[in-house]
Structure 1
């Protein structure tokens, strides 16, 4: 597999990223996604600052450990206390992440009750203080860039007024990279699941923010289902096509990248990052993933925790349903090993 970008590499990894998703983008998911794309920026699940600052060593390892091939990888942290976030960053810097991101977009009740996530859109000055503390802690530890993922507003806010003010206030302390979920978060009356679909998308507003603040790196998130759609938002990526309006600096794909990872990521290094490499097939991804699976099994990880992220491979191929069924049912059997993956793959028809 070709090499991932290194420090100083001119290829911006944030051109394409896989969004942080609770219960999905764990280290096993990221290891699979990395078999398909060497360049795409991969985010962790959100980890709260209190969880990090109160954790014992074994708990930190469980929350923060990842394998070297996962680079470039970003840690997302949730919190609203500047001192606590700074301490969380100090701890996380020892693990070697390529980016640390502050969550200002999650609409769940648990996050609201903790006074962080999307509710922080109501207090941009607090977000700015949090980011300033995080940046100072990261700089002192020789750590990575601090970034922000946000919504365009919450509840009855006017996004046309709220988003530019939010970006200005947070950028004033030195944050230069934002990922914007192009929907409002309706904290009253909608579930977290509904907040991913019901509030209408407002892509033009995000593009307008890039036109207004060309000095900032702005990526777009929300509703992007295909690599073609991502390329439209970023102006065609590496010399391909073009987008209406001002091209954005990156596109962040969530559920589509999880449910059909080969369709979204298999050609990303060529189409988005401009590498002269062949696209990665699902079969190649499985073969590349096998050594990781064996390593995790040897470490005592149950097979089903690893293979659940593989279910979306072979989407649209004859036999994909049998692939999913074999993995789902037989990966939970006592002593299940890589032979289950081999058996499941035998159910899939060869590619045309």
Structure 2
């Protein structure tokens, strides 16, 4: 494995939404908490570590979470507040490097190969960032430090919460070979089960498979798996991530059973997309309608036009055409609309890995 000299940190806030709620309301500290709606159609957006002990996880139906943890406290999400705290954290990152790639409000990659403070060690920078986050916000963060984004991401989960792990260039291959395959970032439950059937349980097992074998059984992902287990991941930290889609969706407390009611809800969703588009200064040529039925089966329909749209009336007209394409099944529980093929994609560029001198300690 050749190291190109990069030093990457992945910072991940600990149970971010739930931790903000516990910070703002001390009475919630130490208690099992879920951010999200408590209704029968509610979904957990985030769970405190106290709730996670009971098996409560994000994206879990609220009724399931309440069954697992009878004492679970539900609080409504306050995204304006989360964005406010996230910006404070982002400002701290920028004191060290301009190469910051946010993944969401609560995590980001930082390339600190050449940092503003001339610190010789990425490990020291990660400690310093986590200290300042705690002093500024009262919240804890975890971090992973390594030679590329993939390994840094895996490492950040290792000593959670409120910890960090550094994987130096010499440690990369032994670390990956010993790693359980389900802990590889990007390998979900379905893929892991498929790998188990092929006798792949650890990184060493994965490394033992040829490129031809992986391509045959895992398609385009095969080459990715072949590379990452060898410590090869050349994706650079992109400080200006280009948005590729923008959307909104709604889950209903009562199922919808007529097109009239569908259009009423889609009117509200299209209005929300117009607001988000204006805020982000984006428009798209493709409108996608998402329909989820009461049996949880999902259907999508899309239409691409020859001009950019981001106004409610234009989006709604295309949505109406999509609704009328074919008769929908009754008992719709969720509707969503999204814009893609955005005007921002004109700005996309392929970037080459940064080549630097190996002159600092890790």
TM-score (norm 2): 0.33
Q: TM-score, normalised by structure 1?
A: 0.34
Structure whose residues are more often strand by fraction:
2
Greater helix content: 1
